[in-house]
Amino acid sequence: MKMKIFATIISGMFHPLMMVTYGLILALTFTYLSLFPMELKLWLVCGTFLMTAGIPALFIYLMVKSGGASDSELTKRRERILPYLVFICALLSTAFFLNKMLMPGWLVAQILGACSALFIALLINFAWKISAHAIGIGGLIGGIMGMAQIQMTNPYVGLMIAFCIAGCVGTSRLILKRHTPMQVYAGFCLGFICIFVSSLLSYIYLFI
């Protein structure tokens, strides 16, 4: 019983809808973007949270209330199609917003990398269920490694913490019986690869 409570808390804290906001907070704290004034940081974080967490969460809530989804976890594969599309649109809007705010290209590229991960997940979803939680935490780690590569730093402590969190998130999905181990592994790899590669591509483009 206690393990299920712990798993529920971890799943809520590291919900896929929160990953973009967490990633932006990390970027604004541990990169040269930390030089931005606090007012601008709050504006960026609040705008990103509204678009990538608030609006999609409201859409899922309305789906559940209207009977379009059985629960907020979107347990059935067919229930995930519309939320995935809404989240993809939200990410594209966020990328546009950050670009207009003159954010660095690598940050915008990571958001677009998240879009590509979700689009692939949407296609996979027609045949097989993949863990969105694992995609989220995998993408966050991919983003951290991408930022480290661009800044030529080695945030080994942060990565150790992130991998521990990823382990907790994956384990929580198994404890709650929302996914199989393969669905968790596949989700993590998909999120990590898409966002890390998008970071590298933006780095290469910068020099070209």
pLDDT of 167 > 60? The answer is yes
49 and 169 in contact (C-beta within 8 Å)? no
pLDDT at 202: 82
Residue 157 carries which DSSP code?
H
The token duo for 58 is 């409201």
pLDDT tens string 6-17: 999 999 999 999
Half-sphere exposure of 182 (CA within 13 A, CB side): 2
Dihedral pair phi/psi, residue 124, rounded to 5°:
-60, -35
Would you place residue 207 in the very low, low, confident or very high pLDDT band (cuts 50, 70, 90)?
Answer: low
Q: What pLDDT does residue 208 have?
A: 52
Distance CA(102)–CA(54), nearest Å, equals 23
**Considering the chain, what percentage of its residues have pLDDT values greater than 70?**
98
Kindly tell me if the per-residue pLDDT of 198 is higher than 60: yes
* Mean pLDDT, rounded, for 45-59: 95
Task: Please provide the average confidence, as pLDDT, over all residues in the chain.
Answer: 92
Kindly indicate the confidence band of residue 129, based on its pLDDT and cuts at 50, 70 and 90. very high
88 pLDDT higher than 80: yes
What's the token pair of residue 56?
């999609």
List all residues 6 or more positions away from 59 whose beta carbon is below 8 Å from its beta carbon.
Answer: 82, 83, 86
**DSSP 8-state code for residue 187:** H
Quickly count: other Cβ atoms within 10 Å of residue 92's Cβ: 15
